């Protein structure tokens, strides 16, 4: 749940770009072949209509019943894209994050420092503007 929520707040990429292969109709609009479609992942991950009033808060419990029940709109959780062209490293990255987190939790308790201010900034990927100081405390 912690990893899913971290990826919701800080997705590896903030948007996807796809291009239509053929002419398509979306509602009553014609989208010609070759049109670039931008999927704004960061906007979807921070939309109150999808996630509720606490959308800006770090709340891993929203994933307590799984990814599909965490969001009011199916398919709005896209940290690694979706479909046949999703991120090839998605499974590896998720397993690696779980192993690292489990290894740390065997020896330490940690929490976000009281000095942390949630202020994402975009470089090539999204990152916290002021870093994310974490306090580790050894578990006896």
Instruction: Please report, in range form, the residues annotated as the binding site for heme.
Output: 87
Per-residue burial over 77-99, b if 16 or more Cβ lie within 10 Å, else e, is: bbbbbeeeeebeeeeebbeeeee
Whether 98 and 74 have beta carbons less than 8 Å apart is answered as no
To which residue do tokens 């509720």 refer?
A: 52
Whether 69 and 46 have beta carbons less than 8 Å apart is answered as no
Looking at 10-107, list the stretches that DSSP marks H as alpha helix, in order from N- to C-terminal side. Answer: 41-45, 48-51, 67-70, 90-107
Cα separation of 51 and 76, whole Å?
Answer: 9
Q: Which residue positions form the known binding site? A: 87
Q: At what angle do helices 90-107 and 2-9 cross, to 10 degrees?
A: 120
């Amino acid at each position: 749940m912690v990893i899913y929520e971290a990826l919701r707040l800080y997705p590896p990429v903030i948007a996807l770009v796809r291009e239509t292969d053929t002419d398509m109709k979306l509602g009553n609009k014609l989208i010609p072949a070759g049109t670039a479609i931008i999927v704004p992942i960061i906007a979807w991950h921070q939309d109150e209509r999808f996630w509720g009033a606490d959308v800006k808060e770090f709340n891993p419990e929203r994933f307590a019943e799984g990814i599909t029940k965490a969001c009011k709109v199916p398919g709005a959780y896209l940290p690694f894209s979706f479909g046949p062209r999703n991120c090839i490293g998605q499974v590896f990255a998720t397993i690696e994050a779980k192993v690292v987190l489990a290894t740390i939790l065997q020896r330490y308790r940690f929490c976000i420092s009281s000095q942390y201010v949630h202020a994402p900034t975009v470089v090539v990927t999204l990152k916290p503007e002021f870093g994310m100081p974490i306090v580790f405390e050894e578990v006896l």
